[in-house]
């Protein structure tokens, strides 16, 4: 998924995703170099990350 699709799937802003994805452990794939690079997310990686965010007992 691209950044916009992933942000929509997670219900977060694109800027949040750029700032916090790596910090929060969400795996990104970068294709290309510099300003022309593209960031992509694997659907199964995103789904696994979402499951890890689950808080039990709340």
Q: Say if 44 falls within a structural domain.
A: yes
- Give one word for 27, left, alpha or beta, with left for phi > 0 and alpha for psi -120 to 50: beta
- DSSP 3-state assignment of 39? strand
32 belongs to a structural domain: yes
Domain that holds residue 41: 3-52
pLDDT in tens, 42-58: 999 999 999 998 887 76
- Give the global pTM: 0.83
pLDDT digits (tens, 9 = 90+) for 16-43: 999 998 899 999 999 999 888 999 999 9
Structurally, how many domains does the chain consist of?
1
Q: Is residue 58 part of a domain?
A: no
Is residue 15, in this structure, part of any structural domain at all? Answer: yes
């Amino acid at each position: 998924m691209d950044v916009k699709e992933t942000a929509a799937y997670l219900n977060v802003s694109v800027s949040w995703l750029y700032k916090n994805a790596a910090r929060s452990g969400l795996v990104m794939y970068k294709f290309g170099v510099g300003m022309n690079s593209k960031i992509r997310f694997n659907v199964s990686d995103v789904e696994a990350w979402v499951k890890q965010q689950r808080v039990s007992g709340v």
